Amino acid sequence: MKSYRLVIDCPDKVGIVAAVSKFLAEHGASIVEANHHRDTTAGWFFMRHEFEADSIELSLEAFKDEFSQLAQQFQMNWKIVDSSKKQNVVLMASRESHCLADLLHRWHSGELDCNIVAVIANHEHLRHMAQWHGLPYHHVTFAKGDKQAAFDEVRELILQYEADTVVLARFMQIFPDVLCQEFAGRVINIHHSFLPSFAGAKPYHQAHERGVKLIGATCHYVTGDLDAGPIIDQEIIRISHRDSIEDMVRKGKECEKQALARGLRSHIEDRVIINGNKTVVFD
C-alpha cells in the first residue's frame, strides 16, 4: 500500500494539531499512523502523519501547494514523502563483515524498504558479498597522509549514485568535517559502545579495561564531532568478568547489528527528526 508521510517540526503553538488534522480530514486522508511530540524545554513541536495515498483527493504536487500556506503560517520545517519512492542508500564498510551482511540480507529479503545502490569500502575483503547481492563495489584506497583524495572520491560516488543516505557499516575512517556538513542528517554511523562511554578507537578494549558489566552499540548521525552526533538508537548486552576482549567483540556485534538496522529502518521510514543534538524517533 502506497502511503504519504508528512513530517513537520515547528515552534510550539496551540492549534497545530487541529490545523493539520483538519487539513488532512478535509482532503479525505485515511490516517495510518500519527505521532506528535512537544519539546517543552525548546518550545518546539514535532509531528509525523502517515496516510494512505489513495485516500487523498489531491496529487502530491497539489498537496504541496495547498499545504505550504498552512506551513508558512506555523513556520514549519516540513516534507511530504511518497513511500513508494525509495531512498537511495550507499553502504560503506572496511574489513568487518557483520553489519554489511546483516543490512544486505535485510534488504535482500524485503525487510529494509530502500534501494541499496552501492558499497564503498577501503578494503577489498567484502567485494564478493556485495557482488552476490548484485551491487557495484568501490574499493577506495585511503593512503596515509592523503585521505583527502580518498574522501573526494567517496564524495563523487555519493553524488553519482544520488544517495539519499550513507551508512557507515563499521567503516573505520573518520568522516571529514566538510562532508559531515554537506551531508548533514544523511550519514548514519554505528559505534561499538553505548555512547557517550568509550567514544573513539577500540571501544571494546576500553570497556574491558574499565571492567563494565554491560557493553553496547550506538547508531547516530555523523557530525564534525567524533561519535558525538544525534543518537538514533542504542542496544546493550550483559557481560561478566569471564568475557575476554574477543568475547566482547563477538557479543557486541549483536548490538551493533540491531542498533544499526533499527536506526536505519527508522531513518528511511522518515521516523527520525533531528532536534539539536538529539533526535525524536517516532516508532
Q: Judged by CB under 8 A, which of 89, 164, 216, 227 binds its own copies?
A: 216
CA distance linking residue 269 with residue 206, whole number of Å: 34
What is the three-state SS of 34-98?
Answer: EEEEEECCCCEEEEEEEEEHHHCCCCHHHHHHHHHHHHHHCCCEEEEEECCCCCEEEEEECCCCH
Q: Which is nearer to its own copies, 161 or 198 (CB)?
A: 198
The yes or no reply on residue 97 touching its own copies (CB under 8 A) is yes
Sign of CA dihedral 112, 118, 123, 126: positive
User: Could you confirm whether 54 is annotated as catalytic?
Assistant: no
Of the listed 227, 233, 243, 270, which one is catalytic?
A: 227
Q: Judged by CB under 8 A, which of 74, 83, 86, 98 binds its own copies?
A: 98
For cell 534501494, what's the residue? 115
Q: Which is nearer to its own copies, 103 or 154 (CB)?
A: 103
Which residues 6+ apart lie within 8 Å of 104 measured at CB?
A: 91, 116, 129, 130, 133, 135
Binding residues for its own copies restricted to 1-20, rule: CB under 8 A: 14-15, 17-20
Q: Which stretch binds its own copies (CB under 8 A): 62-70, 77-85, 93-101, 175-183?
A: 93-101
Q: Judged by CB under 8 A, which of 10, 31, 53, 150 binds its own copies?
A: 31
Binding residues for its own copies restricted to 133-192, rule: CB under 8 A: none
Selection from 11, 42, 6 nearest residue 23 by Cα: 6
Q: Shortest approach of its own copies to residue 134 CB, angstroms?
A: 11
Q: Judged by CB under 8 A, which of 61, 109, 134, 143 binds its own copies?
A: 109
Provide the 10 A C-beta neighbour count for residue 5.
Answer: 19
Residues at the site binding its own copies, with contacts judged by CB under 8 A: 14-15, 17-22, 24-26, 28-34, 36-40, 55, 97-98, 101-102, 105, 109, 111, 132, 194-198, 210-214, 216, 230-234, 236, 240-242, 244, 250, 254, 258, 275, 277-281, 283
